[in-house]
């Protein structure tokens, strides 16, 4: 399953690049838009985690997925691992939406100090096109969850992390990461 996730992410990255050359912005279609934005769709809670913003973004996400995901998948099995990966990716998207709502709320409160949350949501309809710029992409939330699963499953496993010349236990690596 880890190998399949790596392949799907890589293919989505290449497709994004190729389609962009042809004038098609797949990020605006499949990236996770703020829920008050004009282009928000519920399917984006899944599709956003297969898109990446550049080579270093996809490289580090996929390196961590390969490094830790393969081990967790061997312990849990492919079905449980995939369920965990997708569920955590969706959960990360929901948390991102909540953070964006908080940011939007604070922006509106600066302009209209007596605004309530309901009023802020109404303001969202007025700014729906501008809010399309708030687009989230990447597998980072799901990958961080896989790293957490590794740390919880193997807390005392020693990891050698460059540039440190000494091993770090997985539980401390996860906490610092």
pLDDT digits (tens, 9 = 90+) for 61-101: 999 999 999 999 999 999 999 999 999 999 999 999 999 88
pTM for this entry: 0.86
- Which spans in 22-155 are helix H? 26-30, 44-47, 55-64, 70-76, 78-111, 117-126, 140-153
Give me the pLDDT at residue 30, please: 93
2, 151, 169, 156 alpha-carbon torsion, rounded to 10°: -110
- Beta-carbon neighbour count of residue 132 at 10 Å? 16
Dist. CA 141–CA 73, nearest whole Å: 17
Give me the pLDDT at residue 91, please: 97
Please, which pLDDT band fits residue 133 given cuts at 50, 70 and 90?
confident
Q: Is the pLDDT of residue 128 over 70?
A: no
């Amino acid at each position: 399953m880890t190998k399949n996730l790596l392949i799907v992410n890589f293919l989505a990255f290449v497709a994004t690049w190729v389609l962009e050359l042809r004038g098609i912005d797949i990020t605006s279609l499949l990236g996770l838009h703020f829920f008050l934005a004009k282009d928000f769709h519920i399917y984006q809670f899944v599709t956003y985690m297969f898109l990446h913003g550049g080579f270093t973004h996809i490289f580090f996400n996929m390196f961590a997925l390969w490094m830790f995901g393969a081990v967790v998948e061997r312990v849990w099995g492919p079905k449980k691992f995939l369920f965990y990966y997708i569920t955590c990716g969706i959960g990360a998207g929901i948390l991102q939406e909540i953070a964006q709502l908080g940011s939007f709320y604070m922006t509106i409160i600066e302009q209209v100090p007596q605004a309530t949350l309901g009023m802020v949501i109404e303001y969202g309809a007025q700014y729906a096109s501008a809010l399309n710029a708030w687009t989230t992409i990447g597998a980072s939330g799901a990958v961080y969850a896989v790293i957490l699963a590794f740390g919880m499953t193997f807390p005392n496993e020693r990891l050698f992390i460059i540039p440190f010349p000494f091993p770090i236990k997985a539980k401390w690596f996860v906490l610092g990461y």
